[in-house]
Amino acid sequence: MLRHFISTELRLCALALLLHAGALLAQPDPASYGVQVEAGNIVQVRAWLDAGLDPDYLADHIGTGLMIAAWQGDIAMMELLVARGADVDKENALGERALMHAAWRGHVDAVKWLLARGARIDNDAMRWSPLHYAAFAGHGDVAALLLDRGADINARSPNGSSALMMAVYEGQEQMVRQLIARGADRGIRNDRGDGALEWAFKFQRLSIARLVAAPQDFVAAANLPKSQWGEPVRSQPAPAAGPGAAAPDPAGAMSGQIEDLMKIRSVLASRGMTGAASKLDRRIAALRAQRARAGRDATPAAVFEISASRSAPGDQKARLIFETDGPPP
């Protein structure tokens, strides 16, 4: 009787082990894969790779396992995936690579590790670069490392913005100082004619404005009316065309800017960065209102207000608020 009991127990244990092995080896869905890589579950990821999983398999967000590991700064997971053939320069649907994710998150060791394995430090012309991402997030140590390794300090984004401009845009004053000290071109303008000085005044960052402009240029800019720079939140009336001049197309320009911001917001939301995404919601809403006024200059502008709970960012509410012609409150 005892022998029969022990035999049954052994069979059950063997069956449990077989079932567990089957679960380990089953090919994951994108969501499950992303969760396990983010959790640092090397045992599970190794089992999937042993069973034939593509080392560049895409998770449901961020990108490949290597991109997720770089985002997390998980060098052990990065070592496993690259040893199994993961491409260090593989791009996701947004054109991002593992090095860009590590730079955005400020993981210096992960950046060093990827560079040591041949990751490209720059991108093609007119594309986001790892330095853009480091500057945007204010990671000075990563920016210094990239520049020391030869990164193009004046690389241009798809709309022509430089890393210095991105630092100004986000109010990263120390990063602005660092890039200027390294020789960043303060006069670069994007394809909408905006540069570091314009963005500094637009977002009322006077200390940064003094850094990016010569004294006489700063004084000249400071003497311009506030409406010259626009408001980062509230809408402004469309500029009137001068006598004999062709009417500008502010609505078209704003549509392009809204499209760019929507792409950035999508990335932030996919990373769970709800606070930053909420800030962009307000900027996008204001630009939509400004565009509406530009197209209907005789009618009141409307502010498209978006609200969401931080605990439930997907549960959003929206409403239109029409402004009067009087001064803002």
291-301 pLDDT per residue, tens: 655 554 444 44
In a domain, 75, yes or no: yes
Higher per-residue pLDDT: 5 or 81: 81
More confident residue, 227 or 43: 43
Confidence of residue 135 (pLDDT cuts 50, 70, 90): very high
Contact 246, 240 (CB under 8 A): no
Per the prediction, the chain carries an average pLDDT of: 79
Residue 113 forms part of a structural domain: no
Sorted by sequence, the CB contacts under 8 Å of residue 164 that are 6+ apart come out as 135, 153, 176, 179, 180, 184, 185, 186, 188, 196, 212
Residues 220 and 284 in one domain: no
Give the mean pLDDT of 61-65. Answer: 95
Region of poorest pLDDT, from 23-37, 71-85, 258-272: 258-272
In the predicted structure, residue 184 carries a pLDDT above the cut 80? yes
Residue 145 has pLDDT above 90, yes or no: yes
Greater confidence (311 vs 42) lies with 42
Tally of structural domains, the chain: 3
Q: Are 105 and 71 in contact (CB under 8 A)?
A: yes
Q: What is the domain extent for residue 275?
A: 232-238+250-329
Q: Are residues 88 and 139 in the same domain?
A: no
Q: Where are the alpha helices (DSSP H) in the chain?
A: 2-25, 30-38, 42-50, 65-72, 75-83, 98-105, 108-116, 130-137, 140-148, 163-169, 173-181, 196-202, 206-212, 215-222, 250-270, 274-295
Domain boundary pick from 185, 202, 230: 230
**Average confidence (pLDDT) over 157-169:** 96
* Same domain? 89 vs 173: no
